[in-house]
Each structure stands twice: as structure tokens, then as C-alpha cells.
Amino acid sequence: MKCGKQTYKIDKPVFLSETYTVGGPYEAKSNFGTFFDCVMDDDLWGCNSHEKTEINMQKHCIDGVMQKANIGASDVDCLIGGDLINQIVPSSFSAREFEIPFLGLYNACATFAESLGLGALCMQNGMNAVICTASSHYATAERQYRYPLELGTQPTPASQWTVTAAGSVLLRIQDEEKPHISHVTFGKVVDLKCTDANNMGAAMAPAACDTILTHLRDTGRTPSDYDMIVTGDLGRFGMDTLRFLAKQEGIRLEDNLNDCGAMIYATEQKAGQGGSGAGCSAAVYCAYLHKLLCQDKWKRLLFVPTGALLSKASSLQGESIPAIAHAICIEK
């Protein structure tokens, strides 16, 4: 049911039944290292290219979430997901390993939210089980968006560290004891003309602000109606920017705002403003946030993955960085 301008109340409840995560060796040392279902010994994981590694990470997640739920491919109606790599190769190539229909998405680092939102809506018309997946890999993203790692380029102060991780969640119509998706707010593309491709937080904060404020307006709620509002990968600087922008609109996002990118790495890991990448919000939700909901520590989470929709070519052609954010309200 539509509710306000951009929000959909999910009429038939869609439960987040199981999750599975794969993390890289650097992520094993992060704050959530002990929560990953599987940790890779090294960045290649037995493959001869990092792209092939990322394919395997997604494949392992999809296999893992099915095993946890004790179901097979024939029980799953659809794989929905994406990643940051050109032509979303990790998602498409992992999907060929399964006899399951595949819907590829691209909303940059907001892809995981897009998959949860679309999954929940598709399940209103007959799908019973959907697996949503997103991933990123530090090595595949750096060489595609920035420079070859071998160049040893220095990160700038505003930069973030692409998380090497993949996360899958199994959505099901029946699993009443698990958290469920109650509302989905699909975001608009917002571009305040930021051009610094090393400052994703600044580019994405306006989109996060727009989507969160729209969600609150559409549902008639305030930030205090949520145990926590968790954005995708704004990082520390981007989260401050979001607080500033929301305050200007009369909304205070204080103690109950956090960000997957700002949360993931330990201070001593020196990962700039924090983590980023489509796998960041996917893995933090699947490895950590989901458990807090399952353990009844939170009753209502607003999960808002954010994405910067640039490409290497768009930046080289002098374009600014449009961004997007989708909000998924998850309740227990």
C-alpha cells in the first residue's frame, strides 16, 4: 500500500529469514570480524583474479544462506542483487551457478537496499523466497574506480576504504519469529554538484537526508520512533554532513543515527572516514544489525544504504556525482 509520496507499506509481511556473510582478511580484524559466517585467508581466495574472487564470495553467500535455511535452489523464486563492478560481473557470474531466476540491479552502494525493497514488493505477487545479495572487494573497486593498487596511491583525508565482503539475506513469506520489512522508501537521485570522487560521504549525504526526511514525512514518524537509523556507507564525515543537512530541515538526527561505513573498522585500522562499497551495508546488516533485531535488542531499524552513481568515465568527463539512498524499515 502506498503511504505518502515514496513509501510503500508491505501488506503481506516479508521476513528476513537467514543471513550469510563472507569477509576479507582486513574485515576479519574489523569490529565485526567475529560476526562473519566465513572469513577469507587472503584477498584472492584461491582465484587468479580479484574479480573471480568476488564472484566466489557471492556464490558462497548464496550457498551459505540456503544451507542455513535448509532449502535448495528449487525452493528459491529469485536471486536479486548487484555489485560495483562493470556489468555487475560478480552478481551475474555467481547467478549462473544456480538454477534460480536472476534480476541484476545497480544502484552503487545502495544496491542492497534496492534488492530488499524490490524483493519485498515482488513477494506481494506470489514469490515465496527471494535471496538478496550485494558485494564489493577492495582490489576490484580500487582498480576500476581509481588506480591500480600496485601504484601505492595515497588516500586523501576524506576517502573511505572499500569493504571486501558479501552478504546475502533470504526473504521469506513465512518465518514469524524473524525481523520483517514493514516499509520501503525508494529514493530519488540527488546531486548537489560535488565533484570530488574521493569524498563519497559529501556526495551521498544529501541523498540520505532526502530519503530519510521523505520516509519520516510519509510515515508521520520522527527519528525517535526508531531504535536506530543506520545509513550505508557515508563514513564519519558524511554522517556529520547528514546531521547538519537534517538539522537545517528541522530534524535532529543525534544519538540514534549510525552508519555501516563509520561502524565497521576499528580505529587502529586507519581506514580513512570508514568503509564503503556495496558489500559494506550488506555485510554489516547480515553480520551484525540483523542479530541485534533477532535478539530483540532493537524493535525497529531504519536501514538506509546510500550509493554514489559515478563511473570513472563520468568523472573524467567532468560530471558531478549523483547519489541515491533507499530506506528499509525493519521491525521485530
- Other Cβ atoms less than 10 A from the Cβ of 287: the count is 25
Nearer to a second copy, 69 or 327 (CB): 327
Q: Min. distance of Cβ 72 from a second copy in angstroms? A: 13
Region for residue 274 given its phi and psi (left: phi exceeds 0; alpha: psi -120 to 50; beta: otherwise): left
* Binding flags for a second copy, 274-313, as an x/- string (CB under 8 A): -----------------------------------xxxxx
* Binding flags for a second copy, 35-74, as an x/- string (CB under 8 A): --------------x-xx----------------------
- Using CA atoms, how far residue 43 sits from 28, 34, 50, 51, 269, in Å, is 11, 18, 7, 11, 17
Nearer to a second copy, 190 or 264 (CB): 190
Q: Min. distance of Cβ 252 from a second copy in angstroms? A: 25
* Binding flags for a second copy, 85-124, as an x/- string (CB under 8 A): xxxxx--xx-xx-xxxxxxxxxxx-----x--xx--xx-x
Q: Min. distance of Cβ 22 from a second copy in angstroms? A: 20
Closest CA to 299 of 209, 180, 215, 155: 180
Q: Judged by CB under 8 A, does residue 322 bind a second copy?
A: yes
Q: Judged by CB under 8 A, does residue 189 bind a second copy?
A: yes
Nearer to a second copy, 30 or 185 (CB): 185
Q: Judged by CB under 8 A, does residue 232 bind a second copy?
A: no
State CA 238 to chain mean position distance.
Answer: 16
Q: Min. distance of Cβ 90 from a second copy in angstroms? A: 10
Nearer to a second copy, 23 or 187 (CB): 187
Q: Min. distance of Cβ 69 from a second copy in angstroms? A: 19
Bridge partners for 109 per DSSP: 107
- Using CA atoms, how far residue 232 sits from 42, 45, 57, 236, in Å, is 25, 26, 20, 11
CB contact at 8 A, 109 and 305:
yes
CB contact at 8 A, 64 and 38:
yes
Nearer to a second copy, 86 or 153 (CB): 86
Residue 237 has φ and ψ, to the nearest 5°, of -65, -45
Q: Judged by CB under 8 A, does residue 192 bind a second copy?
A: no
Bridge partners for 57 per DSSP: none
Please state, in angstroms and rounded to a whole number, the distance separating the CA atoms of residues 103 and 134.
12
Nearer to a second copy, 3 or 294 (CB): 3
Nearer to a second copy, 270 or 313 (CB): 313
Q: Judged by CB under 8 A, does residue 125 bind a second copy?
A: yes
Task: Write b or e for each residue in 15-31: b if 16 or more Cβ atoms lie within 10 A of its Cβ, otherwise e.
Answer: bbbbbbbbbbebbbebe
Q: Min. distance of Cβ 255 from a second copy in angstroms? A: 29
Residue with cell 532449502: 71
Please state, in angstroms and rounded to a whole number, the distance separating the CA atoms of residues 13 and 22.
27
Nearer to a second copy, 256 or 314 (CB): 314
Nearer to a second copy, 196 or 227 (CB): 196
- Using CA atoms, how far residue 118 sits from 64, 132, 173, 229, in Å, is 22, 9, 14, 20
Q: Min. distance of Cβ 1 from a second copy in angstroms? A: 5
Contact positions vs a second copy (CB under 8 A): 1-3, 6, 8-11, 49, 51-52, 77-78, 82, 84-89, 92-93, 95-96, 98-108, 114, 117-118, 121-122, 124-128, 186-191, 309-314, 317, 319, 322, 324
